[in-house]
Structure 1
Amino acid sequence: MSPRYRTGSNSAGTVVAVIADIMAVILGLWILMYLLDANRANDLVQFVHDAANWLASWSRDLFTFDEAWARVV
């Protein structure tokens, strides 16, 4: 059995993976909240909406669907 060594690249990869997971959870949570028609006046819903809106800003108007739910997803 060989010993396991921790290297800088492994920890950097872990950090990148954790950040990507957090971003995916925020986007997925907003999609779920939107589809379930969450109360937009709620502070948590507003925070998730703002964070998801910022994360998805690069893809704004990438696809042009007529239905609002399709644009969110």
Structure 2
Amino acid sequence: MEHAHELELFCYQSVYAHPKPGAAANRLLLEFGFSEREIQISTLTVETENRHQYSKEFTALVKDFYLKL
């Protein structure tokens, strides 16, 4: 974040990604831009309780990058 600030970038969004429900977040997704505004903070769960069954929110996020989920 310090390096982004040095480049005059501002954090727009911070998403804490959890591998499955109840697990600690293991990824942090950040969106930056060139003007200052309020940071939106949210969470994203990748899989449901079952392995390789992805949550609706994760599927919606990555659908343009995968042929089949």
Band of TM-score, shorter chain: under 0.3
More helix by percentage? 1
Query: When the two structures are superposed, what TM-score results if normalisation uses the length of structure 1?
Result: 0.24
Query: Greater share of strand residues, 1 or 2?
Result: 2
TM-score computed with the length of structure 2 as normaliser:
0.25
